[in-house]
């Protein structure tokens, strides 16, 4: 399954009653909660899943959005109706970064049939497709008494870096920092206790993956952007951000660009800058 899906293609899949689960993962750094937006309007049949409480472990030394416990993630996905052999499409309200975290998580969990809605909820509305405030009922058990959601989480299918491995990749390969340039340079830091970046990392803000219309750039434009940073299929590449969320969109963009693949994806420093700061590691500033 291609990692991006257009609003029109998703609408066709839903009208055909295919086994597609749609996850609404709208979220804002600092709030208010995305669930409020969901309750006002969402894609018909979409299930809201919370990044902070359902798609991440509690914050701590591992960072602000550590990877969730596999059993907890499995319970969340089953409650949303995700089935083995089905498909999942995630959308957010912004540049696709939060939805990319869901894409990455499901791929990490061993579920391959997952995509991000290109352009998010805004693109769905702009296409004139239907929206609703109705919250779907929780998936019921089937006639045999088995849960409709039966996905099995098998973690470890996507490469994950710890702090030492991220530092080594910044020296020996390419480590991309998905945060905005002022945060990368250390001019400002609104969330974490230290400002700056991992020494040797290069800045590739996640907002650069999309155009003015909020849709993802074509593969050739993404490839050219990464080539300008020295990224090619011959060099090991990984990504990080503030807490491992927006960096997931770098992993996705590299795959869309054809630089990496589903078989050989880019690595993610899941703890990211929040974990780096908690470990009191060396910090670089400037650009």
Catalytic residue list contains 277: no
Read off φ and ψ for residue 268, nearest 5 degrees. -120, 125
Taking the C-alpha atoms of residue 134 and residue 74, their distance in angstroms, rounded to an integer, is 25
Rounded distance, CA 170 to CA 201, Å?
5
DSSP-H helix ranges across the chain = 7-15, 34-40, 70-79, 97-108, 120-126, 163-172, 181-185, 219-227, 247-256, 272-278
Catalytic residue from among 88, 116, 202, 241: 241
Contacts of 138 (CB under 8 A, 6+ apart): 79
Name all contacts of 12-20 with Cβ < 8 Å and 24+ positions apart: 13/87, 13/89, 14/43, 14/44, 14/45, 18/87, 19/83, 19/85, 19/86, 19/87, 20/86, 20/87, 20/88, 20/89
Neighbouring C-beta atoms of residue 238, cutoff 10 Å: 26
Residues designated as active site: 241
């Amino acid at each position: 399954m291609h990692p991006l899906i257009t609003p029109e293609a998703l609408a066709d899949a839903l009208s055909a009653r295919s086994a597609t689960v749609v996850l609404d993962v709208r979220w804002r750094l600092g709030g208010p909660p995305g669930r409020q937006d969901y309750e006002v309007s969402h894609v018909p049949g979409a299930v809201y899943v919370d990044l902070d409480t359902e798609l991440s472990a509690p914050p701590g030394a591992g960072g602000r959005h550590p990877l969730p416990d596999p059993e907890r993630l499995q319970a969340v996905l089953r409650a949303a109706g995700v089935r083995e052999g089905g498909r999942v499409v995630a959308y957010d309200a912004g540049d696709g970064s939060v939805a990319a975290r869901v894409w990455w998580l499901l791929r990490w969990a061993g579920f391959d049939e997952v995509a991000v809605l290109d352009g998010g909820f805004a693109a769905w509305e702009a296409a004139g497709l239907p929206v609703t405030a109705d919250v779907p009922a929780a998936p019921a058990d089937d006639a045999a008494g088995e849960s409709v959601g039966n996905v099995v989480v098998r973690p470890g299918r996507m490469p994950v870096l710890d702090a030492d491995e991220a530092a080594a990749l910044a020296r020996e390969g390419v480590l991309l920092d998905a945060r905005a340039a002022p945060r990368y340079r250390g001019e400002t830091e609104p969330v974490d206790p230290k400002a700056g970046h991992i020494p040797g990392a290069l800045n590739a803000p996640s907002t650069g993956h999309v155009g003015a219309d909020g849709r993802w750039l074509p593969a050739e434009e993404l490839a050219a952007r990464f080539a300008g940073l020295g990224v090619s299929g011959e060099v090991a590449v990984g990504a990080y951000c503030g807490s491992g969320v927006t960096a997931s969109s770098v992993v996705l963009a590299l795959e869309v660009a054809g630089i990496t693949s589903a078989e050989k994806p880019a690595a993610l420093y899941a703890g990211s800058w929040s974990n780096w700061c908690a470990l009191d590691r060396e910090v670089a500033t400037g650009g």
